[in-house]
Amino acid sequence: MYPLRVLGRPAVPSTPDQNGQRSNPPATSGIALGFERVTKVFPDGTRAVDGVTFQVRSGEMVAIVGPSGCGKSTLLRLASRLTAPSSGEIRIGDGNLGYVFQDPTLLPWRTVQRNVELLAELAGVSAAERTQRAAQAIILTGLSGFERHRPRALSGGMRMRVSLARALTMRPRIFLFDEPFGALDEITRERLNAELLGLFEREGFAGLFVTHSVNEAAYLASRVLVMSPRPDHIVAEIPIPFAYPRAPELRFAAEFASVAGQISASLREKPR
């Protein structure tokens, strides 16, 4: 096991209570990402997103669940400005934006260290600075000792850690996650969920996490947006009433099952 470790500032974005727990949602002000009546119609007439409005506050983790093909990836592509909305407005807060895909998209000929450095290299960060940032991200993501390995020598979970480390070098204020753990086995996925939460709590970024998994959404997020079948619109917004930090055992609590059941019921609602 290679747990993610804590380095640097203890940047928990909200004020912990007397028990050291964070309130839900985080108490910081500021919007990391805002969608206002956003619609996306592709040139072939496919309406993928239909009048979607939501916000992700600074330091908040929001999950989106919805059926396959409902437009979740399109939402993330809109958020990252990879594609433009047909109408509506998208606001992004200050700071860098990180994007983690289901496919870790590593360069096979580069070592772990050189893969982690890639984004900083493309952004023109000096060699000394990016080496230092990569070293820190490698420790944070539990990759120490694997710096000289090439991607083919790594498991799926380790490759995903490299992808996460690479994004961390740009010190994003908001992370977009497009089903990053969807291709992993359940045990690895649960471990990475717990480790991602540790990173989220300590690094203080905001997150928008797209997933098919109701349990993953409920475990990670402080709010879950449930999407309808295409065209994508929000059918329910479900607050998750568990303070951070969250223990992995939370998944087995009766209260957790109740919240997960609520999300599942919303997913089964008939489209309008």
Residues within the interface to ligand ADP (CB under 6 A): 42, 44, 46, 48, 66, 68-74, 230
**Of 201 and 232, which has the nearer Cβ to ligand ADP?**
232
- Residue 90: CB minimum distance to ligand ADP, A: 15
**Of 24 and 83, which has the nearer Cβ to ligand ADP?**
83
- Residue 69: CB minimum distance to ligand ADP, A: 4
Q: What is the Cα–Cα distance from 50 to 38, expressed in whole angstroms?
A: 7
**Of 65 and 125, which has the nearer Cβ to ligand ADP?**
65
How, if at all, do strands 97-100 and 31-41 pair?
unpaired
- Residue 42: CB minimum distance to ligand ADP, A: 3
**Of 81 and 148, which has the nearer Cβ to ligand ADP?**
81
148, with CB counted inside 10 A (0-12, 13-18, 19+), is: exposed
- Residue 136: CB minimum distance to ligand ADP, A: 32
- Residue 232: CB minimum distance to ligand ADP, A: 7
Map tokens 């209570």 to a residue.
Answer: 17
**Of 87 and 144, which has the nearer Cβ to ligand ADP?**
87
